[in-house]
Amino acid sequence: MSTENLKKELEAALSITDWSPTENDLHEIARRIEGLGGSRSKTDIEKIVHDVVGSYESMLMEGIDNTDLTTLLLMATKTTNK
């Protein structure tokens, strides 16, 4: 899985509107997401992204939809296995 695809999925899942992760940042995010294993939530992913890249802009939506987290975990796994 390419880091560009991971970036797009993260933007969609977290409603990110402005950020500038490097290739290394995306690999680190993927590694940390993979490390979460089965216990992952949108909040976990948000914390990882913030820890790696610092502040970023996102839209705040009501309610939480975790359906994209499985996709993110699979993408992170494929990104780190390159």
pLDDT of residue 39 exceeding 80: no
CA distance 58 to 71: 19
CB atoms within 10 A of CB 40: 19
CA distance 61 to 80: 30
pLDDT of residue 64 exceeding 70: no
Given a contact cutoff of 8 angstroms between Cβ atoms, the answer to whether 33 and 48 are in contact is yes
The predicted-structure confidence for 3-26, as pLDDT tens digits, reads as follows 999 999 999 989 999 999 999 999
Chain centroid to CA 23: how far?
13
pLDDT of residue 47 exceeding 70: yes
